[in-house]
Chains A and B, each alone.
Chain A
Amino acid sequence: MDTQGVRWTADQVLALAPDDASRSAGSRLGTAGPWSGTGSDGRGAVWGLCRGSGSTPYRTVVDTTGPAYACSCPSRKFPCKHALGLLLLRSGDEAAVTVTEAPDWAARWLEARRERAGGARTHGAEGSGRPAAADPEAARRRAERRAARITSGARELEQRLADLLRGGLAAAELSGYGLWEETAARMVDAQAPGLAGRVRELGAIPGSGAGWPVRLLEECALTHLLDRAWLSVDRLPAPLAATVRTRVGLTAPAEGPAVRDRWLVLAQHDSSDGRLTTRRAWLHGRESGRTALLLSFGAAGRAPGPALPVGTVLDAVVIRHAGALRAELGERFGPPAPLDAPPPGGTVGDALAAYGHALREDPWLDSWPVTLTDVVPIPTDHGWQLADAAPTGPGGGGGVGGEAIPVSGPALGRPGLWRLAALSGGRPVTVFGECGHRGFTPLAAWSADAPGETVPLH
């Protein structure tokens, strides 16, 4: 067995970067030039000295099983460019990092880290791992106060929606964004961030091009549905009530069953609204067959949370939030393993049916994660679509009479779409993505020639 664990590819390393600047800075350091004293302990730890502008080189050490990083540089980026450079060096040149004895400075950090990890594990085994609330009575009163504020917020929003409909949506176009901003601010005051986010999106619809009245009515109606659901949340069945609470903006703790599985890291991408970076990672459980979404957030300029190497399989525990796709990554066992095959999938019809099915649990879902097996990307006059490949007959790939789903608007503008087209070359591929009422957003793809190679599409 390979005692060094799996060497990450350059793409996987670059996915760890907190932002584009670190990505390019790290790339420049991913060569032997500035490095000396590099080594690895064969158990997932890598270290090295990187010459910077100062007289003493920076000491960089990475534990890839975490992954965790330490570097003596002053950068507040995490991981810093030196850690990225070191991992890139290892990914590019096997001979550059050999198994040796760790120098003192690296050994100290690694030892402390492994002790902590061991400690956490024993502690986790003893109890629930989550400290009990200091004063359950006070917590309950706080929750009640917040629920009351949200209720008054929801009532206010209902009133606004009714006024809007009474006067007509055409007036909404004239009133512009200001009115919505103000309403969103009121929802923030009401401690209902979920409602505030919806209201902000409503404000953007009148400027979103042809067909906006239909979209605005749909989204107003679903916001209304959420208001009504909250106002009678006590009478809803427990799973739906949990969904409503999450949608309104009450974060449910991850207390679902902890599932240990071989989790395939399907896709990962960051989005930023200027103040907050959101990192979304999709996992698919090899044995459980379940898909999970890991969300993490970071203030501008900071990495949102540990990045996962896309296209590898993690032996790990995943804990679900109640009533949502969202989950948290728990303990990991060993380094990531290479992928053998893409997740199982279905046809375009199956994907839409899965979305429809998921709406029964959560009618506010915009999309649902699915895998399409054997689809062909086809350019049309209105963008691209993904079509079921015709069953292989004598004609081969005729596609006439086949079924298709359009690629969603935002995905049409991304470079990933061209990677998908190139990967396919007009032949069937397997595509993972989000399928919803706006179409399909491809996130990762696999070709028949190289089923173990995940091509990221975001």
Chain B
Amino acid sequence: MDAWEELVTSALLGTDRRPPALAGATAGDAPVALLDAAALHTVRRRAGLRPGPAAEPPEPAPEDARRPLPEPARRRLGQLLAGRAAPAPSGGRRGAAPDLAELLPQWLVAANEHGYKAPASALPALLDAARARTDLRPQALTLAGPRGLWLARLNPEWRFALRGGGGRAALPDVRDGDTVRALWEEGLFAERVALLASVRAEDPAAALELLGSTWAAERAEDRLMFLDSLRAGLAGEDEEFLEAALSDRSRNVRSTAAELLSALPGSALSGRMAKRASSCVSLDRTEGAVTIVVEAPHECDAGMQRDGLIPTPPTGRGERSWWLGQLVEAAPLSCWPARFGGRTPEEIVALPVADDWQGELHAAWCRAAVRQRDAAWSRALLGAPAAPPATGPGTSSLAERAKLLSTLPEEERARWVASFIAAHGLSEAFQLLGVCAVPWARPLGGAVIDALDIARDAGSYPWSFSGVMGLAERCLSPDATGQLEALTALPAEPEDASPGAGGYWTEAFQRLVSTLHLRAAMRDELRGPIE
């Protein structure tokens, strides 16, 4: 035992029980002598401290060749990440200042489009943000780049970043056959999905070959995910593989294969479906007027089941109408004009349908139009935007209509929604606005602002429109501020208005304007100084 340990033992047990072995210490002043010796030892030890041996340093983070953010954009990122930690007070009243947390996603997208890398010192906050909000992960991890992944390996709280699925993982050169094969056979699932997608983008045939090489040995849920990843860039070359998957052991794999095949125009499956569907739906001219007559299938045979039809309907639905719906949904829409004497989709949708089959038939066409991304049929099924939703063709469901809209070209989509808002106001428009391209095109932005102005004049409170307001803050083009500035003035309060509403509207419009200013500033900061 060395001298210091002697002192500690003595101190711990007490000098009465364990007198310290110190020269010249008598029983009476033993504690003082011990403290003197301990003080000397402590200061000596501290003054003589030396460094310890260094541990194995971590492998340095890979170099990131991307450009650093311009200084103002870098400050902005700091603010956005700090604003995330301190969200705006909840509740109806949000004040006139923008909500920074809502702007972070689009800032990240824009920064990634410019090809910037995150400043190193912001990486912890960025990873924390991505940890808290899964919707931010892909963009946040892309911006964080290789150093972000390097850092995430050191902190268990950021392990999510290593699971893949987000950001561009480091993939081998897809032309390097051996490396690709090694990663395909030994990689983590997320790495394999990413690898398959990148090989497919480069060389679709090679991707199918890669998939086929291990297909039989994959687990059912993995087969399903791989199959689903063929959705991107689906082409005729995939038909053979998909047709084989129709005989898969797993029902989910079978039905996904059938769904993909039915979306593939000219596939054998869609031909079979066209035939089956055509035999169920025909034209009847007997009673003067032309009518669509529906004869739903009487059975769901083995061939139909192999082609993806689910024989058992959900509770509460008749078997035959259930089968009909699936047949029409999977049949190529191109078969109908021929079946109905060369009529256009608009004309077909306008035809009366006998015996209450209209709802069933139109709903199936809607699903088919979405699945086959058919703009002409979507247009027909949506009808005129100004028509009341309940009387239009197709569907009155806003969710279904939003899906149909998403198949239209961006510009047409924006125009359609703009007309819809002009006719029906904002209360029904939220879902439809959600599928419009950001930033909103001028006619759409104008329609939303006009509708908000009308809502204010009608005397409602702005928080009745908080959903649309929030969307507008994120999606309106910054160029729309000119139209908005006029609305931020406090209006004279009309007699029938809700008390105080004018002030709240002014505040809401101010927040809208300041958010747009902020977004414009963010956009310009990311562009950086013009070189």
Do residues A379 and B58 form an inter-chain contact, with CB atoms below 8 A? yes
Do residues A402 and B54 form an inter-chain contact, with CB atoms below 8 A? yes
Do residues A10 and B123 form an inter-chain contact, with CB atoms below 8 A? no
Q: Smallest CB-CB separation from A435: which chain B residue?
A: B49
Q: Choose among B55, B57, B510 the residue that contacts A426 (Cβ–Cβ < 8 A).
A: B57
Which applies to chain A's interface (DSSP): helix, strand, loop or mixed?
Answer: helix
Q: Does B517 contact A (CB under 8 A)?
A: yes
A34-B97, A403-B51 given; A27·B82 CB < 8 A: yes
Do residues A385 and B52 form an inter-chain contact, with CB atoms below 8 A? yes
B25-49: contact bitstring with A at CB < 8 Å (1 yes, 0 no)?
0000011101110110111011111
Do residues A380 and B55 form an inter-chain contact, with CB atoms below 8 A? yes
Scoring B96, B100, B123 by chain A CB atoms within 10 A of each residue's CB, the highest score goes to B96
A217-B7, A421-B154 given; A404·B51 CB < 8 A: yes
Complexed CA–CA distance, A43 and B446 (Å): 43
Chain A-chain B contacts (Cβ-Cβ < 8 Å), number = 227
Q: Does B222 contact A (CB under 8 A)?
A: no
Do residues A27 and B100 form an inter-chain contact, with CB atoms below 8 A? yes
A160 nearest CB across to chain B (Å): 11
Q: Smallest CB-CB separation from B507: which chain A residue?
A: A51
Q: Smallest CB-CB separation from B13: which chain A residue?
A: A168
Chain B contact residue count (CB 8 A cutoff): 70
Do residues A399 and B56 form an inter-chain contact, with CB atoms below 8 A? yes
Do residues A92 and B42 form an inter-chain contact, with CB atoms below 8 A? no
Scoring A217, A222, A403 by chain B CB atoms within 10 A of each residue's CB, the highest score goes to A217
Residues of chain A contacted by B18 (CB below 8 angstroms)? 168
Given A224-B36, A426-B61, 13 more pairs with CB closer than 8 A: A23-B82, A165-B11, A168-B13, A169-B11, A216-B11, A218-B42, A379-B55, A388-B51, A404-B53, A406-B52, A426-B150, A436-B46, A437-B49
Do residues B514 and A425 form an inter-chain contact, with CB atoms below 8 A? no
Kindly list the 9 A-B residue pairs having the minimum CB-CB distance in the complex, ordered from nearest: A33-B514, A168-B14, A24-B86, A387-B54, A426-B60, A403-B51, A221-B38, A165-B31, A425-B61
Do residues B39 and A378 form an inter-chain contact, with CB atoms below 8 A? no
Do residues B517 and A425 form an inter-chain contact, with CB atoms below 8 A? no
Complexed CA–CA distance, A164 and B151 (Å): 48
Complexed CA–CA distance, A357 and B422 (Å): 79
Do residues B83 and A27 form an inter-chain contact, with CB atoms below 8 A? yes
Do residues B151 and A399 form an inter-chain contact, with CB atoms below 8 A? no
Identify which of A243-251, A260-268, A285-293, A348-356 touches chain B. Answer: A348-356
Residues of chain A contacted by B15 (CB below 8 angstroms)? 165-166, 168
Do residues A31 and B514 form an inter-chain contact, with CB atoms below 8 A? yes
Complexed CA–CA distance, A356 and B51 (Å): 12
Q: Does B294 contact A (CB under 8 A)?
A: no
Scoring B30, B49, B154 by chain A CB atoms within 10 A of each residue's CB, the highest score goes to B49
A293 nearest CB across to chain B (Å): 19
Do residues B31 and A166 form an inter-chain contact, with CB atoms below 8 A? yes
> Which residues 129-176 in A have Cβ within 8 Å of B in the complex?
158, 161-171
Do residues A169 and B12 form an inter-chain contact, with CB atoms below 8 A? yes
Q: Choose among A33, A404, A418, A455 the residue that contacts B510 (Cβ–Cβ < 8 A).
A: A33
Residues of chain A contacted by B48 (CB below 8 angstroms)? 356
A340 nearest CB across to chain B (Å): 16
A32-B518, A168-B17 given; A403·B54 CB < 8 A: yes
Q: Choose among A28, A170, A225, A380 the residue that contacts B12 (Cβ–Cβ < 8 A).
A: A170
A351 nearest CB across to chain B (Å): 8
Scoring A379, A380, A455 by chain B CB atoms within 10 A of each residue's CB, the highest score goes to A379
Complexed CA–CA distance, A311 and B97 (Å): 29
Do residues A31 and B12 form an inter-chain contact, with CB atoms below 8 A? no
B322 nearest CB across to chain A (Å): 54
Residues of chain A contacted by B59 (CB below 8 angstroms)? 426
A410 nearest CB across to chain B (Å): 18
Do residues B151 and A421 form an inter-chain contact, with CB atoms below 8 A? yes
Q: Smallest CB-CB separation from B83: which chain A residue?
A: A27
Do residues A426 and B58 form an inter-chain contact, with CB atoms below 8 A? yes
A28-B95, A378-B57, A403-B51 given; A359·B12 CB < 8 A: no
Which applies to chain B's interface (DSSP): helix, strand, loop or mixed?
Answer: helix
Identify which of B73-81, B267-275, B348-356 touches chain A. Answer: B73-81
A165-B31, A387-B57, A447-B120 given; A218·B38 CB < 8 A: yes
Chain A contact residue count (CB 8 A cutoff): 82
Q: Does B209 contact A (CB under 8 A)?
A: no
Residues of chain B contacted by A455 (CB below 8 angstroms)? 121
Q: Does A101 contact B (CB under 8 A)?
A: no
A24-B86, A27-B82, A415-B124 given; A33·B511 CB < 8 A: yes
Scoring A31, A161, A164, A167 by chain B CB atoms within 10 A of each residue's CB, the highest score goes to A31
Complexed CA–CA distance, A360 and B96 (Å): 59
Residues of chain A contacted by B526 (CB below 8 angstroms)? none
Q: Does B137 contact A (CB under 8 A)?
A: no
A–B Cβ pairs within 8 angstroms, 5 of them: A168-B17, A225-B35, A356-B47, A376-B57, A401-B54
A386-424: contact bitstring with B at CB < 8 Å (1 yes, 0 no)?
011000000001111111111000000001001101110
Q: Does A93 contact B (CB under 8 A)?
A: yes
Complexed CA–CA distance, A20 and B99 (Å): 18
A165-B11, A421-B151, A422-B147 given; A31·B97 CB < 8 A: yes
Q: Does B8 contact A (CB under 8 A)?
A: yes
A27-B83, A166-B16, A349-B51 given; A397·B57 CB < 8 A: yes
Q: Does A427 contact B (CB under 8 A)?
A: yes
Q: Choose among B31, B43, B154 the residue that contacts A363 (Cβ–Cβ < 8 A).
A: B43
Do residues A404 and B54 form an inter-chain contact, with CB atoms below 8 A? yes
Residues of chain B contacted by A415 (CB below 8 angstroms)? 124
Q: Choose among B42, B45, B52 the residue that contacts A404 (Cβ–Cβ < 8 A).
A: B52
Residues of chain B contacted by A348 (CB below 8 angstroms)? 51
A416 nearest CB across to chain B (Å): 9
B314 nearest CB across to chain A (Å): 49
Do residues A423 and B121 form an inter-chain contact, with CB atoms below 8 A? yes
Residues of chain A contacted by B45 (CB below 8 angstroms)? 437
Scoring A33, A94, A162, A388 by chain B CB atoms within 10 A of each residue's CB, the highest score goes to A33
Do residues A437 and B46 form an inter-chain contact, with CB atoms below 8 A? yes
B473-504: contact bitstring with A at CB < 8 Å (1 yes, 0 no)?
00000000000000000000000000000000
Complexed CA–CA distance, A425 and B124 (Å): 12
Q: Smallest CB-CB separation from A388: which chain B residue?
A: B54
Complexed CA–CA distance, A421 and B510 (Å): 41
Q: Does A214 contact B (CB under 8 A)?
A: yes
Residues of chain B contacted by A4 (CB below 8 angstroms)? none
Q: Does A97 contact B (CB under 8 A)?
A: no
Q: Does A430 contact B (CB under 8 A)?
A: no
A9-50: contact bitstring with B at CB < 8 Å (1 yes, 0 no)?
111001000001001100111111110000000000000000
Residues of chain A contacted by B12 (CB below 8 angstroms)? 168-170, 213
Q: Smallest CB-CB separation from A356: which chain B residue?
A: B47
Complexed CA–CA distance, A229 and B514 (Å): 64
Q: Does A220 contact B (CB under 8 A)?
A: yes
A32-B514, A224-B39, A360-B47 given; A161·B31 CB < 8 A: yes
B467 nearest CB across to chain A (Å): 21
Q: Does B88 contact A (CB under 8 A)?
A: yes
Do residues B51 and A405 form an inter-chain contact, with CB atoms below 8 A? yes
Q: Choose among B13, B79, B151 the residue that contacts A418 (Cβ–Cβ < 8 A).
A: B151
A91-111: contact bitstring with B at CB < 8 Å (1 yes, 0 no)?
111100000000000000000
Residues of chain A contacted by B95 (CB below 8 angstroms)? 28
Complexed CA–CA distance, A163 and B43 (Å): 23
